[in-house]
């Protein structure tokens, strides 16, 4: 096919969404198996960046389990992941959990804590 720069913008964007990278496909398949819609997956990939390849075992599963442990509903988990998929780039035990404890100490509830962490991981 034509080089990326020669393709129309919509076609270039589509090729990013249809990335066949194995890790990205695994993450997408896992999220899809949990009920994430195609629209949500498209939003996640666009917001994560051009290379959506978080490790399912080391990043995706631990975050989703932690969000559930915090008491978020499935709908809230879907919203947080779709809006802030960059959370999958952070180290849960080294960054997110300690920050969550600190924010809770300031009086935030679990939903506010998760949203704050994924907006500003540092």
- What pLDDT score was predicted for residue 100? 87
Question: What are the structure tokens assigned to 109, written together?
Answer: 């509830």
Please list the pLDDT of the chain residue by residue as tens digits (122 residues): 555 555 555 444 444 444 445 666 899 999 999 999 999 999 999 998 878 889 999 999 999 999 888 878 888 889 889 888 888 888 888 888 888 899 999 999 887 887 776 666 44
pTM of the complete model beyond 0.85: no
Residue with tokens 């960059």: 86
Helix axis angle, 38-48 to 9-17, nearest 10°: 100
Burial of residue 80, with CB atoms counted within 10 A of its CB: 0-12 exposed, 13-18 middle, 19 or more buried: buried
Residue with tokens 């666009």: 46
- What pLDDT score was predicted for residue 39? 94
């Amino acid at each position: 096919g034509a080089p990326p720069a020669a393709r129309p913008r919509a076609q270039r964007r589509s090729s990013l969404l249809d990335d066949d990278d194995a890790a990205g496909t695994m993450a997408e398949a896992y999220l899809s198996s949990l009920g994430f819609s195609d629209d949500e997956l498209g939003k996640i990939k666009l917001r994560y960046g051009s290379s959506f390849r978080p490790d399912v075992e080391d990043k995706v599963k631990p975050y989703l389990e932690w969000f559930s442990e915090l008491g978020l509903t499935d709908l809230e988990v879907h919203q947080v992941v779709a809006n802030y998929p960059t959370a999958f780039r952070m180290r849960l035990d080294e960054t997110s959990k300690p920050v969550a404890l600190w924010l809770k100490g300031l009086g935030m509830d679990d939903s506010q804590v998760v949203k704050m962490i994924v907006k500003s991981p540092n």
